Amino acid sequence: MKRFLIRIGIFFSIFIIIVILLLILPYSPKINNEMFIEKTKDSLLENVILPRIIFIGGSNIACGLNSQLIKDSLNINPINTSINAGIGLKYMLESPIKSIREGDTIIVIPEYHQFYGDLADGEIVLLPLLFEVSHKFNIIDFNQYIKLSQYIPKYIASKLKFWKDFETDELAKKSINAFNKYGDEYDHWYMPKPASFEKYEINASLNNEAFNLLTAFKTKVENKKAHLYISFPCYAESSFNKCLNQINIIENKFKGLKIETIGSASRYKMNDSLIFDTEYHLTKKGVDLRTELFIEDFKKVRTHNQVDGFTSN
């Protein structure tokens, strides 16, 4: 019996070692290659000078903002930290906090889906971001680790399947080049609009913890002597109308957070003709319109609060 237990122990030890080795195996840039842009965005947070306006969210910001218009209109340096909704609201808020400076203006614009189900904990795309790019394991909480563990087999399988592609880094370079100097993903601005776009139903339960994340983030931002605002994502009109009840719940919840809100949910409801490949992604025309709407709304908030040079709330 003792010998059997020793063999079982050896077997599981070898298995765990193999899993760890596969997890740290260099990942092919062909899969989730947009994750590799985070190092560049972290560099922007460290090097862009004040005054700064920092955008936090998923791809509704990455693929839906023209930061040059913001810079020209507001006379402030924009930083678009957004990558993908799948990394989850928890990671989005925790990742940049150490780089926030006194006087920064922070705009958080999460997708509506972040407030339903457990998307806020992250999806499989968070794994390559952690293991290949950021290595920010210290900002991941227990619930996130539990959820991410279910994706490990698929993540490892994808690594093995695409190992042969790792020797060329052209795909990774292409991914980085899809973003401009402010962090906007702009390559699709010049692509033909697809015949249809992806839609994702909101059919999970409301996640109240996601709203608590914003409250906790507010405290951290205020401790940095920076200024926090929240706003609403651009969203396809057809999806907006279908999810109106869920969106109204989010908007009402925002009102109870004691965080200054920019615009309204309906303000950023975008005609389907302006949508690119998913309900949160905009064509170039849509990007410019959404950005202009944001600029108008932000100016109103700034005037209302008598903000002078973005130095006070």
One-letter amino acid identity for 281? H
- Tell me the pLDDT band of 161, cut-offs 50, 70 and 90: low
Is beta strand 105-109 parallel, antiparallel or unpaired with respect to 227-231? parallel
Q: Which residue did the predictor score with more confidence, 165 or 51?
A: 51
Which residue from 296, 311, 222 is spatially nearest to 259, judged by alpha carbons? 222
pLDDT in tens, 4-32: 455 555 544 544 544 454 555 565 544 44
Residue for token pair 């009840």 = 245
Structural domain includes residue 284: yes
Cα dihedral 242, 244, 247, 249 sign: negative
Structural domain includes residue 50: yes
Query: What does the pLDDT read at residue 144?
Result: 96
- Tell me the pLDDT band of 148, cut-offs 50, 70 and 90: very high
Distance CA 78, CA 98 (A): 17
One-letter amino acid identity for 55? F
Structural domain includes residue 141: no
Distance CA 79, CA 95 (A): 14
Cα dihedral 62, 63, 68, 71 sign: negative
Structural domain includes residue 224: yes
Structural domain includes residue 249: yes
Domain of 215, CATH number, reads 3.40.50.1110
Q: Cα 64 to chain center, whole Å?
A: 12
**Domains in the chain, number:** 1
Distance CA 145, CA 198 (A): 28
DSSP per-residue codes, 222-263: HHTT-EEEEE---EEHHHHHHTHHHHHHHHHHHHTTT-EEES
Distances, alpha carbon 48 to alpha carbons 83, 100, 183, in Å: 18, 11, 12
Residue for token pair 């908007």 = 251
Structural domain includes residue 178: yes
Q: Which residue did the predictor score with more confidence, 238 or 134?
A: 238
One-letter amino acid identity for 229? Y
Q: What is the pTM of this model?
A: 0.86
Containing structural domain, residue 203: 38-119+172-304
Q: In this model, does residue 174 exceed pLDDT 60?
A: no
Structural domain includes residue 154: no
Query: What does the pLDDT read at residue 177?
Result: 76
Task: Provide the total of helices (H) and of strands (E) in the chain, helices listed first.
Answer: 13, 7
pLDDT in tens, 177-217: 789 999 999 989 989 999 999 999 899 999 999 999 999 99
Q: If you ran DSSP here, which 8-state letter would residue 151 be given?
A: T
Structural domain includes residue 165: no
